[in-house]
C-alpha cells in the first residue's frame, strides 16, 4: 500500500496543498467556535489538530522539493505519531527563532559599520553587548514557545475529555481564553513557516528576489535537513 512516506518527491508534488487546506479549515473552525460560542476548550483542541495537519503538509512539501526529511531516523512515525509531530513543530520554532536572531545580528552589525565616533572603541564594546541582547530576544522567545509546544498533547486531551486528579477536571474549567490565544499565536507562526517554504520554492519568486539569493536560501534549507538533521532521532526526545 502506498502512503505519504513511500511516495517519491515527484509523486508528492502539490499533495501538501490539500493537507494545508484541511489544516486551515480546522483552524478556522477553532476560531469560529471560540468567537461565537466562547468554547475555548474545544477550540484549543481543534487548533492543535490543525497544527498536526500543518506539520504533515510541511513534511510533504519539503519532501517534494527533494529535502531528505523522510531519511531522518524515526521518519516512519511522522504520519502516525502525534507527539513526534509536536516535536517537529518545536524544531521549526527553534529554527525560526535562530534565523530571526541571526537576521537582527547582521542588521545591527551593518548599522555599526556606518557608525562613527571619537569614542569608537567604547561604543564598539557597548554596542556589542546591546546587539547581543537584542539579537538573542527571538531565540529566548522561541525557547519559551518550545516549552509550550511540549504541552500540546496534554492540552488537546484536556480540551476534549473529563479527568480526575485529586479533583474533577473538565475542559471548560481546564482550558481558558488565555490558553486558547497563546496556542493560536504559536500555530499562527507555524502557518507562516509553511507559507514561507512554499514561497521560497515558488517559480514566481525570481520576479522579486535575485535567483542567486533564492538558490542560497534553498541550499541552506536543504543543508539543514539533509546534513544537520541526518543523525537526529525524534523518538529519542
Residue 122 has pLDDT above 50, yes or no: no
Instruction: Determine the pLDDT at residue 153.
Output: 84
The residue segments making up the domain with residue 196 are: 4-85+151-236
Q: Which is higher by pLDDT, 7 or 116?
A: 7
Which residues, at least 6 apart from 81, have a Cβ–Cβ distance to it below 8 Å?
235
CB 205 within 8 A of CB 199: yes
CA distances from 126 to 92, 106, 119, 121, 131 (A): 32, 16, 11, 9, 9
CA distances from 95 to 100, 137, 142, 158 (A): 9, 14, 9, 28
The answer to the question of residue 131 being in a domain is no
Instruction: Determine the pLDDT at residue 29.
Output: 98
The C-alpha cell 535567483 sits at 211
The answer to the question of residue 125 being in a domain is no
The answer to the question of residue 90 being in a domain is no
Instruction: Determine the pLDDT at residue 135.
Output: 45
In which element (H, E) is residue 35 found?
helix 15-37
Residue 115 has pLDDT above 50, yes or no: no
Instruction: Determine the pLDDT at residue 184.
Output: 93
| Residues 124, 151: Cα–Cα separation, whole Å | 42
Q: Rounded mean pLDDT of the chain?
A: 79
Q: What is the mean pLDDT of residues 72-87?
A: 76
| Per-residue cell: 7 | 511516495
CA-atom Rg of the chain in angstroms: 21
Query: What is the four-CA torsion angle of 151, 152, 154, 159, rounded to 10 degrees?
Result: 130
168-200: pLDDT as tens digits: 988 888 999 999 999 998 888 888 888 888 988
Domains: count for the chain: 1
Instruction: Determine the pLDDT at residue 109.
Output: 55
Residue 138 has pLDDT above 70, yes or no: no
- Global pTM value: 0.76
Instruction: Determine the pLDDT at residue 181.
Output: 94
| Residues 237, 87: Cα–Cα separation, whole Å | 8
The answer to the question of residue 110 being in a domain is no
CB 158 within 8 A of CB 174: yes
CB 236 within 8 A of CB 100: no
Residue 204 has pLDDT above 80, yes or no: yes
The answer to the question of residue 116 being in a domain is no
The answer to the question of residue 222 being in a domain is yes
Ranking 42-46, 66-70, 131-135, 225-229 by mean pLDDT, the lowest is 131-135
The answer to the question of residue 104 being in a domain is no
The answer to the question of residue 140 being in a domain is no
Q: What is the mean pLDDT of residues 124-149?
A: 53
Amino acid at each position: 500500500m502506498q502512503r505519504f512516506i513511500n511516495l517519491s518527491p515527484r509523486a508528492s508534488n502539490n499533495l501538501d496543498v490539500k493537507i494545508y487546506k484541511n489544516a486551515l479549515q480546522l483552524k478556522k473552525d477553532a476560531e469560529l467556535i471560540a468567537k461565537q460560542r466562547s468554547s475555548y476548550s474545544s477550540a484549543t483542541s481543534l487548533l492543535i489538530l490543525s497544527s498536526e495537519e500543518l506539520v504533515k503538509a510541511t513534511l510533504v512539501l519539503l519532501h517534494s522539493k527533494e529535502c531528505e526529511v523522510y531519511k531522518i531516523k524515526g521518519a516512519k512515525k511522522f504520519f502516525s505519531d502525534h507527539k513526534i509531530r509536536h516535536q517537529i513543530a518545536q524544531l521549526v520554532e527553534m529554527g525560526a527563532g535562530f534565523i530571526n536572531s541571526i537576521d537582527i545580528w547582521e542588521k545591527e552589525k551593518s548599522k555599526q559599520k556606518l557608525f562613527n565616533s571619537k569614542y569608537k572603541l567604547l561604543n564598539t564594546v557597548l554596542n556589542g553587548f546591546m546587539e547581543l541582547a537584542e539579537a538573542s530576544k527571538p531565540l529566548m522567545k522561541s525557547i519559551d514557545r518550545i516549552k509550550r509546544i511540549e504541552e500540546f498533547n496534554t492540552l488537546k486531551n484536556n480540551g476534549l475529555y473529563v479527568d480526575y486528579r485529586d479533583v474533577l477536571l473538565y475542559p471548560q474549567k481546564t482550558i481558558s481564553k488565555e490558553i486558547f490565544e497563546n496556542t493560536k499565536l504559536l500555530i499562527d507562526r507555524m502557518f507562516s513557516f509553511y507559507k514561507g517554504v512554499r514561497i521560497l520554492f515558488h517559480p514566481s519568486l525570481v520576479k522579486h528576489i535575485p535567483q542567486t539569493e533564492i538558490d542560497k536560501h534553498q541550499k541552506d534549507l536543504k543543508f539543514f535537513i539533509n546534513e544537520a538533521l541526518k543523525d537526529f532521532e525524534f523518538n529519542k526526545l
